[in-house]
Amino acid sequence: MIRKLILGALLACAATPALAQQAGPPPSPYAPLQDRPTCTRAELKAATAAYVEAQRRGSLAGLPLDEKARFLQNMADVTRAAGLWNTALPVANALSFHDDKRCKTFTEIVVTEGGTPYIIGTRLYLHQGKVIRVDSIVTKTGDWLFNANAFLRYTKAENWEPLHAYQRTSPAEMIRGANAYLDGFSDKFTDIPWGVPCARLEGGAYTNRQNSPTASCEVGMPLGVLYITHRDYLVDEEMGVINVFCRFGGNVTSPDSHTFRYVDGKFRQIHTLTAIPGPQANDEGGMAGQARDPNAS
């Protein structure tokens, strides 16, 4: 009898791992993100050029998509057929950045004509020559400080040329400074690398409409405690740019993109896109109507 009890216990223990494995989540249908992806800068640049053309045509057919590529819009899963990339749009401006270490790209697209204005920030994730993830933040009228006309106007007036080698900032410092800025929403004592002059373009609202040589991006940091979570980094050393995809206020329904341009170790330009309802900017980069300017000092 004792031998039977012991045998039964051993059999139960042996079955436990198999049962636990069966009870786990099903395997993902998507191509997995890589912790050490492989790519070249040329592949990344070809991918962003193909993406911009895809948005003009309304078809991703020209992208080297992995058969298990994952598609997201405003940080929620969508089918390939459901994304805005299937709508042909008259692209007024496109600005792309490339990280050949993390194999990620970021493209900022501005649409001012065609009936519906948009500002779109799209990440492509690559591995071994294939796009394994397309991740777009789409902002439009009604979203935080939105104004595509102002966004286009001030972006085109800014300097986005590649930097000379001696003007560049180390990737580690770029990540540290971006984190310090985002941490500043919850802790006002962080060491943020403010540069002068610096301007922040937030959806369409612009902090240096007077083109002052002493302007600072420090103006308008909001009061209170607000956490910025789920940070995902892209670093383009040649352009002096770090782009961070994150959740504004830690809310899963608040997709946000912050792009920081460094020159000589300091912030000089900041672009933000936040897909949440809010006040609107006007064509001059100020506030529409009677809304209080959140960028005011």
pLDDT band at 297 (very low <50, low <70, confident <90, very high): very low
Q: What angle do CA 233, 236, 237 make, to 5 degrees?
A: 125
Same domain for 70 and 177, yes or no, is no
What tokens were used for 116? 């519906």
- Segments forming the whole domain that contains residue 168: 148-274
Q: What are phi and psi of 112, to 5 degrees?
A: -115, -10
Per-residue model confidence (pLDDT) at position 19: 47
pLDDT at 293 over 60: no
Cα separation, 124 vs 59, in Å, equals 15
Same domain for 216 and 244, yes or no, is yes
Q: What angle do CA 33, 37, 43 make, to 5 degrees?
A: 110
Same domain for 128 and 165, yes or no, is no
β-strand partners of 200: 270
Same domain for 175 and 126, yes or no, is no
Question: Residue 57: which H helix or E strand, with range?
Answer: helix 41-57
Which tens digit of pLDDT belongs to each residue from 7-39? 555 444 444 455 445 567 788 899 999 999 999
Which tens digit of pLDDT belongs to each residue from 94-106? 999 999 999 999 9
pLDDT at 274 over 60: yes
CB atoms within 10 A of CB 113: 11
CB atoms within 10 A of CB 296: 10
Cα separation, 195 vs 217, in Å, equals 8
Total number of domains constituting the chain: 2
Same domain for 195 and 125, yes or no, is no
Same domain for 161 and 108, yes or no, is no
Per-residue model confidence (pLDDT) at position 25: 74
Question: Residue 183: which H helix or E strand, with range?
Answer: helix 171-183
Same domain for 158 and 126, yes or no, is no
Residue 288 lies in a domain: no
Residue 228 lies in a domain: yes
Which tens digit of pLDDT belongs to each residue from 108-164? 999 999 999 999 999 999 999 999 999 999 999 999 999 999 999 999 999 999 999
Same domain for 122 and 153, yes or no, is no
Question: Which residue among 124, 140, 156 closes a domain?
Answer: 140
